Amino acid sequence: MAVYEYVAFDERGKEIKGIIDADSPRLARQKLRANGIFPISLKEEKKTEGEIGARDISLSWFSRRIKLSDVTVMTRQLSTLIGAGLPLVTSLNGLLEQTENPSLKRVIAQIRERVNEGNSLASALAEHPRVFSPLFVNMVEAGEASGTLELVLERLADFIERQQSLRYKIYATLAYPTIMLIIGTTILFLLITFVIPAVTKIFEKTQQALPLPTVILIAVSNFLKHYWWLLVLIFAAIVLVFRKFVSTPKGREWFDRIKLNFPVVGKINRKVAVARFSRTLGVLLKNGTPLLTALDIVRNILNNVVLSKVLEQAKDEIVEGEGIAGPLARTKAFPPIVIQMIGVGEKSGTLEDMLEKVASSYEEEIEMKITAMTALLEPIMILVMGAAVGFIVVSILLPILQMSTIVR
């Protein structure tokens, strides 16, 4: 179904602009007239929502793609409008007027049309899986069924903001050491490839036996100068083979297992997964989603095959009548403290609150661990760079000192 941007007059003769979707321009005009809108011009939008996730290197794509922050703002605004007593279609119209992102605007227009045709908001959202996750759709569906849609939307906005906040904190913490590593490596490469050869030419003319460090430095310099492209090709080949391997079921499971068991980083990855599991499951259960459905949703958003299989195994045991704490404990994939808190929550009827406490605790711990790890990485990187520069300096000074001794 195509999306059309129109300029029209309303019943009072006021010029208005908007977006509508229809199978043809004729049907689009009919829809507009049925709503008391008389089109002056109708222009088909070439870029559709299905292309939002495509890999496009044009600058317009970066400016128009739908970001998670855009969805968060839209969700909170919709919650406010519905909470103020406005009908759903009127609230969606209000969103259309406030939204600046063209891609999101088209999506909202399509959702409004579906709702106007009598579909539920959840089913309309489900038609845009690139924008709205299964978690989002299921929570909206639960909110519509319970009559608390504005409350569910508010909780959804809070949930997405927490997830974004944790992600941004991790990125911000790792940004500085990453930039240092890139800049330091680039400087060393340029120094060894272009500066060192000019200096070592002097030593070659002396025809004296050079110290071992100098010989190694000259060999590395010559190799990088003439065969740097070979290193690039090897690196690219390794990346391509690795990506191909990881795209297979066995390769993906192997890589996900490595991510959970790798020294230092593995513990952080496991904590991130536990925090995401606890936060998502708690939010879903609090909003009335059945436990088995909630586990299916959580299993799909963990982004780890190993943990997904663990949850699938636990779900099979829960279907047979068990609680959630016992099956999770037998998998041995979750820390004992998490299992204990889930067990207490089940017995006391406060499972949702316990899950959110677990999530908050682990999110704080993740932030502290990454901050500590980054603080340790910085001096290590400085020492490594210092050692590399020191080796270069010593390799250049040794033959100079040797030459001065011969002259004496």
Across 53-61, average pLDDT = 37
Look up residue 188 and give its amino acid. Answer: L
Across 199-206, average pLDDT = 72
Across 350-357, average pLDDT = 88
Across 367-378, average pLDDT = 82
Kind and range of the H or E run holding 5: strand 2-9
| In the predicted structure, residue 69 carries a pLDDT above the cut 50 | yes
- The pLDDT, as a whole number, for residue 235 is 92
- The pLDDT, as a whole number, for residue 349 is 84
Contact 10, 68 (CB under 8 A): no
Q: What is the CA radius of gyration of the chain?
A: 30
- The pLDDT, as a whole number, for residue 205 is 67
pLDDT digit string (tens) for 126-169? 888 888 888 788 878 878 877 778 888 888 888 888 778 877 87
Quote the Cα angle for 104-105-107, to 5°: 65
The CATH architecture that domain 2-48 belongs to is: Roll (3.10)
Burial label for 316, CB within 10 Å (0-12, 13-18, 19+), is: exposed
DSSP helix/strand/coil, 3: strand
Between CA 182 and CA 380 the distance in angstroms is 15
In sequence order, the 6+-apart residues with CB closer than 8 A to the CB of 37 are: 6, 8, 9, 10, 16, 18
pLDDT digit string (tens) for 268-294? 888 888 888 888 888 888 877 788 888
Domain with CATH 1.20.81.30 in the chain: 64-160, 259-365
CATH superfamily of 64-160: Type II secretion system (T2SS), domain F (1.20.81.30)
| In the predicted structure, residue 52 carries a pLDDT above the cut 70 | no
pTM of the model as a whole: 0.66
- CA diameter of the chain: 103
Contact 52, 130 (CB under 8 A): yes
Question: Quick one: tokens of 127?
Answer: 């038609």
Is domain 259-365 given the CATH code 1.20.81.30 in the classification?
yes
Quote the Cα angle for 91-93-96, to 5°: 115
Among 156-165, 216-225, 238-247, 343-352, which range has the highest average pLDDT? Answer: 238-247
- The pLDDT, as a whole number, for residue 202 is 74
Least confident range from 28-37, 319-328, 386-395: namely 28-37
Contact 125, 137 (CB under 8 A): yes
Rounded to the nearest integer, the mean pLDDT of the chain is 81
* Alpha-carbon separation of residue 287 from 22, 34, 79, 146, 150 (angstroms): 34, 37, 15, 9, 12
Q: Position of tokens 């739908």?
A: 66
Contact 3, 106 (CB under 8 A): yes
Buried b (16+ CB within 10 A) or exposed e, 9-43: eeeeeeeeebbbbbeeeeebbebbeeeebebeebe
Question: Quick one: tokens of 120?
Answer: 């539920």
Quote the Cα angle for 262-238-373, to 5°: 30
Across 203-231, average pLDDT = 81
Backbone φ and ψ for 43, nearest 5 degrees, come out as -125, 125
Task: Name the pLDDT band for 395 (thresholds 50, 70, 90).
Answer: confident
User: Between these two residues, 377 and 408, which has the higher pLDDT value?
Assistant: 377
Dihedral Cα 198, 199, 203, 204, nearest 10 deg: -10
Residue by residue, what is the 3-state secondary structure of 20-75?
A: EEECCHHHHHHHHHHCCCEEEEEEEECCCHHHCCCCCCCHHHHHHCCCHHHHHHHH
- The pLDDT, as a whole number, for residue 245 is 93
Between CA 75 and CA 227 the distance in angstroms is 53
Q: Where are the alpha helices (DSSP H) in 191-290?
A: 196-206, 212-246, 249-261, 265-286
- The pLDDT, as a whole number, for residue 234 is 95
DSSP helix/strand/coil, 172: helix
Across 309-330, average pLDDT = 84
Task: Name the pLDDT band for 330 (thresholds 50, 70, 90).
Answer: confident
Task: Name the pLDDT band for 219 (thresholds 50, 70, 90).
Answer: confident
Task: Name the pLDDT band for 345 (thresholds 50, 70, 90).
Answer: confident
In sequence order, the 6+-apart residues with CB closer than 8 A to the CB of 58 are: none
